[in-house]
Every structure is written in structure tokens, then in C-alpha cells.
Structure 1
Amino acid sequence: MVLTKEVDLPQFTTLTVPEINVSTATLMAAAPYLGKHCESVNNEFMLCRQELNDPRPCIELGKRVTACAMQVFKKIKKECKDEFNQYANCVDKSSGDYGFKDCRKTQAVFDTCMMEKLCMERPDFGYFCRGRIHKSPSAPPTPPPCPCHPKVPDATPSLPDCKPRYPARFGGRSYYMTE
């Protein structure tokens, strides 16, 4: 990607945020709870990225998404650590593609712990596929002016009138439709 001098990049200290260092199996085991608990913050972040088409103004929202995920993992560690570790270990070692089908028993134990101790219910199947409307607290951004297409009057305001054409020599395209 080529940048010019006019592009203002954020300082590295602005981008520094505590990372969530977890394995793929751990992330997949906690994914439904992360998705449901952090849904509004994540939707706001993705809306910012989509509307502005520039990640720089959305850095603070990205930090809030990471903080929300960190909060969920801290709650799981505090209340359901053993059940979660069993479930994540099963997801990691039961199949080569991190499949869930062999881990339904440990999943049920983990889900019960989450419901009893944290009052967090696993979202039903297809929850994340449904369309939902996100009501954003922030105002929609004004679109930036496009510098590549300045507003210039059209060089050809209208086309000149054409001469009438002769009928086609061998019939028109609608030959088969007329019979």
C-alpha cells in the first residue's frame, strides 16, 4: 500500500492494547458467548469500519471490542474455569478440524455452569445468521467529497437527434414473435 505525506497515521502508542492470547480451540469454545455478550460493541465497530471506509477513526471502538472480549474471558476464568478447560481441550483434541460433534457432553456441562453462575445463556442455533437491526448511538458520518471526480458541467448535455433508420434487410430480431 502506498501512502503519501498527507496521510496521518496514528502513533504506535495509540494502537497498543492488551491482547487476548488464546488458542484457536479456546476461542472457538467461547465464541458463542463472546459474540452474544459483545454484540452491540462489535456491531458498532463494524458499522464504523464500513461507513467510514477507514480504520483509523475506529481505533477506540476496536479497543472496546477487545476489552469486552477480555472481560468475558475473565468471567469465565473466575466462575467456570474447569468446565471451560475441559470443553476447550475436547474441541482441541477430538478432531483435526476443531469439530464440536464429539464434545457435546462437555459443552453441556460448560453451558450449565455459564447459565447457573454467570446467567449467560448460549445463543440458539442460527442466532448469528438472523438479520437484526442495530440502532447506533452515533450519528451517521458525512460522506467525504470525492477528489477524483470534480463537479464539472457535462461536456455533451444532450445527444443530437438521429436520422431515421431503414428497416432491417433480413427482418428484425422480433421476426419469430410476430408470427
Structure 2
Amino acid sequence: MVVTKEVHLPTMEELDTQEVNVSTATLMSAAPYLGKSCENVNSEYMLCRQELNDPRACIKIGKMVTACAMQVFRRIKAECLEEFNQYANCVEKSSGDFVFKNCRKTQMVFDGCMFEKCQLRRPHFGYFCRGRVHRTSSPEPAAPPCPCHSPVPDPTPSLPDCKPRKPARFGGRLFWTND
């Protein structure tokens, strides 16, 4: 990608935030709770990325997504660390591709702890596949100044009424369908 001097690139101070530095198994084990707890801020971030088509404009919201994920992990660590570690360890070591089917017992213990101590219930199967309408307070983006979005007049006039045409000299395209 070519960047000219007119393009503002964010500084490292603008981009600097605490990262969620966890393994794949840990992230997959906490994913339903992350998705449910951070649903609004995630939707706001995706809306920003879709509407503005510029990741630089969504840095603040991206930091809010990261902060929400960190908050969920802190809450898990404070309330259900032992149960979560058993579940994440099972997911990591029970198979080579992180399947959950071998870890349903440890998942049930972890889910019970999350409901009992954090009042968070695991979303039902298919919850994240449902369509939703996200209500936002952010302003609607301005229309792009590009002239390519202006309406173009139709250069071809409509065809005049004409006489019926005679059949094609060598038959039509679908000659094999004629009986």
C-alpha cells in the first residue's frame, strides 16, 4: 500500500494499549462469555469499521473492546480461576484441534461457577448466529465526496416501437427445443 504525506498515520502513543495476551485454548474457553459481555462494544466497533472503512477512525473503540476483554478475564481470574484453568487445560490438551466434546464435564463446572459467582450464563447454542439490530449513539457518517457516487444520466434512449422482426435466418439459439 502506498501512503502519501497527506495521510495521517496514528502515533505509537495513540496505538498503545494493554494487549490480551492469552493462548488459543484460553481465548476459546472464555469466548462465549467475552462475546456476551462485550457484545455492545464489539458491535459498535464493527459498525465503525463497516461505515467508515478506515481503521484509523476506530482506534478509540478498538481500545474499548480490548479493555472490555481484559475486564472479563480479570473477573474470571478473581471469581473462577481454578475451574477456568481446568477447562482451558482440558481444551488445550484433549485434542490437536481444540475441540470441546472431550471437556463437557469441566465446562459444566466452569459454567456453574460463572453463573453462581458472576451471574453470567453461557449463551445458548446459536446465540451468536442470530441477526440483531444494533442501536448506536454515534453520528451517521458523512457521504463520501467522491463524484463516482453521483447519479449518472442514462445515455441510451429507449427503443422506439418497431415492427415485429422476422425469424432469424439460420434459426435461434434454442433450435433443439423447437418441436
TM norm structure 2 = 0.88
Q: Counterpart of 2:114? A: 114
Cα distance, 1:139 vs. partner? 2.1
| CA RMSD between the two structures | 2.5
Residue identity matched to 1:32: P
Q: Counterpart of 1:92? A: 92
Identity %: 63
Cα 1:146–1:20 change in 2 (3 A) is same
Residue identity matched to 2:122: R
Q: Counterpart of 1:32? A: 32
Residue identity matched to 2:47: L
Instruction: Output the CA distance in 1 between the equivalents of 2:19 and 2:177.
Output: 68
Cα distance, 1:174 vs. partner? 6.7
Superposed counterparts of 1:16-27, under 5 Å: 16-27=16-27
Q: Counterpart of 1:72? A: 72
Spell out structure 1 runs of 4+ moving beyond 2 A.
149-154, 156-167, 170-179
Instruction: Output the CA distance in 2 between the equivalents of 1:145 and 1:54.
Output: 15
Q: Which runs of 5+ in 1 are unaligned?
A: none
TM norm structure 1 = 0.88
Cα distance, 1:171 vs. partner? 3.5
Deviations 1:19-50 (A, max 9, x none): 11111000000000000000000000000001
Instruction: Output the CA distance in 1 between the equivalents of 2:168 and 2:126.
Output: 58
Q: Which runs of 5+ in 2 are unaligned?
A: none
Q: Counterpart of 1:144? A: 144
Deviations 1:84-126 (A, max 9, x none): 0000000010000011001000000000000000000000001
Superposed counterparts of 1:160-175, under 5 Å: 167-173=167-173
Cα 1:145–1:33 change in 2 (3 A) is same
Cα distance, 1:144 vs. partner? 1.4
Q: Secondary structure at the match of 1:80?
A: helix
Instruction: Output the CA distance in 1 between the equivalents of 2:54 and 2:178.
Output: 56
